[in-house]
Amino acid sequence: MPDSAEHTESAFLGVPVEMIISVGKAKPLISELLSLSQGAIIPLDSRIDDPVEVYIGDKLIARGELQEVEGDAGKLGVRLTQVVDMKNGF
């Protein structure tokens, strides 16, 4: 019979976790938000080739580069370039 801690840990391994990929931020004025319409472009504080940040909840866990998923034209993925050391940070 496996010990209790090992059993508890393995029970969590199958739980899905939502990751958020942040490509940039914007700080529009309220007046600019009110004038938005379909087709409007909201400028971000980042460039197309800047690294993206990967979050779980509000915790930064990695950085990476956007790229097209091989064999699935048009689908985006993130190639990780930096992963957080959970004990010591980046």
Mean pLDDT throughout 11-28? 93
Q: Taking the mean position of all CA atoms in its chain, how far away is CA 56?
A: 7
Within the chain, strands assigned E span: 20-22, 52-56, 59-68, 76-83
The Cα angle at residue 16 between residues 78 and 44, in degrees rounded to 5: 35
Rounded to the nearest 10°, the torsion over CA 34, 40, 42, 47 is -170
Confidence of residue 2 (pLDDT cuts 50, 70, 90): low
10 pLDDT exceeds 90? no
Confidence of residue 56 (pLDDT cuts 50, 70, 90): very high
Q: Which domains does the chain have, with CATH numbers?
A: 18-83 (2.30.330.10)
Mean pLDDT throughout 64-88? 92
Q: What is the pLDDT of residue 3?
A: 65
Mean pLDDT throughout 42-61? 95
Q: What is the pLDDT of residue 12?
A: 84
Q: Is 30 helix (H, G, I), strand (E, B) or coil?
A: helix
Half-sphere exposure of 78 (CA within 13 A, CB side): 19
Query: d(Cα 38, Cα 65) in Å, to the nearest integer?
Result: 28
Mean pLDDT throughout 19-46? 96
Task: Locate 54 and state its tokens.
Answer: 């990967």
